[in-house]
Each structure stands twice: as C-alpha cells, then as structure tokens.
Amino acid sequence: MDKSNIKICHLSSVHFALDTRIFYRMCNTLSKHYKVTLIAVHPQKEIKHNIQIIPFRRYHNRVFRVVFGWLIMFSKALKINAKIYHLHDPELIPCGLLLKLLGKKIIWDVHENIAEDIFDKPWLKNQKLAFSIFHFFEKKACKYFYLLLAEKSYEKHYKDLTSNYSIILNYCDLTFFKKLEQKKYDQGKYLFYIGIILENRGILQIIEAIHILNKQGEKFHFHCVGELYNDLYFKILNLPYYFEIKDQLHFYGRKSLEDGYALAKNMNIGLCIIWPMSNSKESYPTKLFEYMAIGLPIITSDFPLYKSVVEENKTGFCVNPFSATEIANAILNIHRDAEKSKQMAEKGKTIVENKYNWNSEIPTLLNVYSQLLNITK
C-alpha cells in the first residue's frame, strides 16, 4: 500500500510550528511515510522538511483562545481532509470530537500532566472550575481518541481511563544534533539556556548566581534563547544588582531550534533549573538530552528523576533550584575542573547515543499510525 499520499494533520493552537516534539520529532518522522500538514502558530504558510505548515494566529487572550480557538482550528483542519488528526493541546479536544463525528481518526498527544498542571497556573482565577471542565473533556477524549503520552509518569493517571494509549518519550533526535555537537570541550565562562523563559525556570536564581560569582572575581555570561515575557523582564530590571551584571546577560528572543543551538557551539555549561511543580518533578526536560547530545555539562534541579539521568551518568550536577549559591558553586565546580568537565561532556554524548535516543521511539509512533489506518506490513 502506498502510504505517501495518505494525509495526516497535526494541530496546535498553543505551540509554535517549529516546536521540538511536534515538528522536529513527530512531523519530521511521519513525513518520511505520509503526507503531513501542520497547523500551528507560525508567521506564514510554507513547506519545510516536506511538511506543509499552515499558520494559526496566536491569541494572547487565553479565555478567547480556549473558548473559540478550537472552532477556528476546526474550520482550518476540515479543509485538509486528513485521515488522522493529531492534537497537541487539551483545548483542542472539542475540535477533535467534531472531527471524530465526521469519521476521522484522532490522536491526542499528552505533552504534560494537565490535570495536575492546572493547579500550578497562577493566572487561572478559578482552578477548581477549570479542572472540572478539563476532566469532563478528558473523559470524552479517552473514550474516543488514541492517546500518546510523553512521559511514563502519566500512565498512572490515564491507564484507569483508557487502554488506547502508547508512551512516546521526548528523547533526542541525534540526526539533528550531531551536526551541532562540540567536537572539543572548552573551559570558557559561557552559560546557556534555551526554551520558554518563565520565573519558574529559575531565571532569577541563575542571574543571582552570576552576581555571587562576580563578587568572587569570576565573570560568567548567561546566553538565553527564548521568549522573555514582560513581567519577568521587569523583575530582572528591578534587581538591585542588575546594572552591575547587565552586560553579562544576553537575551536573544525566540529562535528556531537550528539557530538557537548554533549559539550553543560556543557555550560551556547547559542550565535547566526548574522549580518543583506537580508536572515538572516527574517529567523529563527535553533540554537535558539536547544539552548532552551536543556535549554540554549540565546543571539542573535536584529531583529524583533528573538525578537518575544527570548524577547517575555523571554528566553534571543537580542543585536546589531555589538556591543561587548552589547554582554558583556548581558552575565553579564544572569550570575549575577541566578534566571532569570534559568527561561530563563525553559521557553525555555517549549516554544519549546509547539510551536517550529518539530512534528508540520511532517504531512505536509508526506502529500507532499503521494500526489506526489498518495498514498491514
């Protein structure tokens, strides 16, 4: 059977089109077998990596996005007339239910433990109501959709709601990162972060750690790729020591994955400082595997799951995410021990290649699609 003309469509009203999991892993893998369309937040319509990208407007008003975004997405999705629609946001569940009524196969990709995550969102005024509404739609989704879970920890929640699920972890695509890896580790003073820039990503603690290091005569530079939201930007500006260290802070804004990690070739330590939230403690941060793949020693939060990757494999240090002092000490420990930091860099690359590799997840993804399309080998 010729699968290359079978249309499948990925939908996201929240994520940018070039999202790591959605575009570089899911869509990129599937485009080698199917005709893939992606409707997501993007500036223009284009074809990239043989994937047709259709732009979806990013609605900053969350209430409007949740109430009406799915309906706008439905009208766009209907025009594609795909066999399978692959949803990446819980707020698109109503869109998926309508498509299901039209006889389409629906996959819901669960990126996070949404039920627990609701209570970690301070902007939600009525969290209990939001949880009740979500739980209603979640039960419908579990009844009519096939679920893909991005973490093993999500299974304990969903296995009682449905048996139609598979786990596909956010491991690293080595094909992409091999060309970005550092061939020789350098003992410089350049710290690197890529991703969403929120206060709960330890940004203020990292900046305070840089201030602490300055007082010790160690001048480090923090290079940060991602969207810096205004409320956090103003908090940074109001730090009492901001003007002392402002020339050491480099914010590049949002960049593509290629352009963002191109900067990392000149960096020395990868930072992944995340506060202990319900969802974060049991979820792998994709950055851990990406930093290791390109040969950066890592400093991350001291959660047991993170320790099982970083400390057990000796690829970096785990610290209290609220302690700027611990972050500063870990930075110095890596910087001052040239031999150990080089070993961390090499061990990171090796462990990603042998264990935390996207290639191990591809058979599961392709098998799910084959089953839903009733394709036999």
Starting at the earlier edge strand, list the strands of the sheet with 35-41: 46-48, 51-56, 35-41, 7-16, 84-87, 105-110, 146-149, 165-167
Do 120 and 245 share a structural domain? no
Residue 377 inside a domain? The answer is no
Per-residue confidence (pLDDT) for residue 176, from 0 to 100 = 87
Residues 54-68: what's their mean pLDDT? Answer: 82
Per-residue confidence (pLDDT) for residue 33, from 0 to 100 = 96
DSSP 8-state assignment for residue 153: G
Band (216; pLDDT cuts 50, 70, 90): very high
Residues 289-296: what's their mean pLDDT? Answer: 94
- The structure's pTM equals 0.88
Do 150 and 237 share a structural domain? no
Q: How far apart are the first and last CA of the chain?
A: 9
Given a cut of 60, whether residue 234 has pLDDT beyond it is yes
- Average pLDDT of the chain? 91
User: What's the domain range around 128?
Assistant: 7-169+361-372
In the block, tokens 């950055």 appear at 287
Per-residue confidence (pLDDT) for residue 241, from 0 to 100 = 96
Q: What CATH number should be reported for the domain holding residue 317?
A: 3.40.50.2000
Do 242 and 120 share a structural domain? no
Distance CA 48, CA 28 (A): 9
Q: Is 101 exposed, middle or buried (0-12, 13-18, 19+ CB in 10 A)?
A: exposed
To which H or E segment does residue 87 belong? strand 84-87
Distance of CA 150 to the CA centre of its chain: 10
Do 149 and 263 share a structural domain? no
The closest alpha carbon to 319, from 167, 180, 212, belongs to 212
